[in-house]
Amino acid sequence: MTELEAIQTRHSVRGYQDKPIAPETLKLLRERVGQINQESGLHIQLMEETDGVYGSAISRLSGWRNVPSYLALVGPEGPNLEEKCGYYGEKLVLYAQTIGLNSCWAGIFRAKQVWAEIRPGEKLALTIALGYGATQGKPRKSKTFQEVTELKGEAPDWFKKGVEAALLAPTAVNQQKFRFSLGEDGEAQLKVSGPGPFVNVDLGIVKYHFELASGRTVK
């Protein structure tokens, strides 16, 4: 499975089989995390035990079950941290799908139970649950192409492919608060279209989907 195929098949999963991730799969994940950290300057860490991270009453009511492992998204504090975590975290989410794992972005968790290394000047932004899903999840309702674009005239095919992939991106509470347009230079532009929880994380996730499917960068 490629990452582009993973965009189509991957859905958020909060309930997992009661078993750990296989050692060979963990090895692949660690290697990929190392590559992403080197590329991004982030300090993402693969945690092999959850130790109650998703054990709050709110988490249980939200459907979290048997999460065996997770990614702690840690990086240098700054205004771009959440967007950066979204972009590079989604790279790991799609990679995890290609090697047989399910996942779910988690903005609500017990931060005091996260034993990741947080160096001076760094911050824990959020987490991503990983494991073998009890199900493969299910598609969610999505906005239309027209609802997330501002265009004058016909859009090029690469732009359409990018937006279609962006509409499959996970966003907090499925808010999809983003808007694409084409600049005067013909390049794609992306912005937040309204307030909401984790909208900057969402922006990074959506941007990666668009760039992967379109082969173009986004301003």
Provide mean pLDDT across the span 151-173.
96
Identity of the residue numbered 61: L
CATH homologous superfamily, domain 3-131: NADH Oxidase (3.40.109.10)
**114-142: per-residue pLDDT in tens?**
999 999 999 999 999 999 999 999 999 99
Do 184 and 153 contact (CB within 8 A), yes or no?
Answer: no
Do 130 and 69 contact (CB within 8 A), yes or no?
Answer: yes
The sign of the CA dihedral 193, 196, 198, 202 is negative
Strand 149-150 versus strand 178-182 pairing type: parallel
- The pLDDT score that the predictor gives to residue 153 is 85
**67-118: per-residue pLDDT in tens?**
999 999 999 999 999 999 999 999 999 999 999 999 999 998 999 999 999 9
φ and ψ at residue 89, rounded to 5 degrees: -65, -40
The CATH 3.40.109.10 portion of the chain extends over: 3-131
Strand partners, 180: 149, 190
Provide mean pLDDT across the span 33-48.
98
- Domain covering 146-214 assigned CATH 3.40.109.30 in the classification: yes
- The pLDDT score that the predictor gives to residue 59 is 65
pLDDT at 165 over 90: yes
- The pLDDT score that the predictor gives to residue 60 is 65
The CATH 3.40.109.30 portion of the chain extends over: 146-214
Among residues of the chain, what percentage have pLDDT more than 90?
Answer: 92
Do 77 and 121 contact (CB within 8 A), yes or no?
Answer: yes
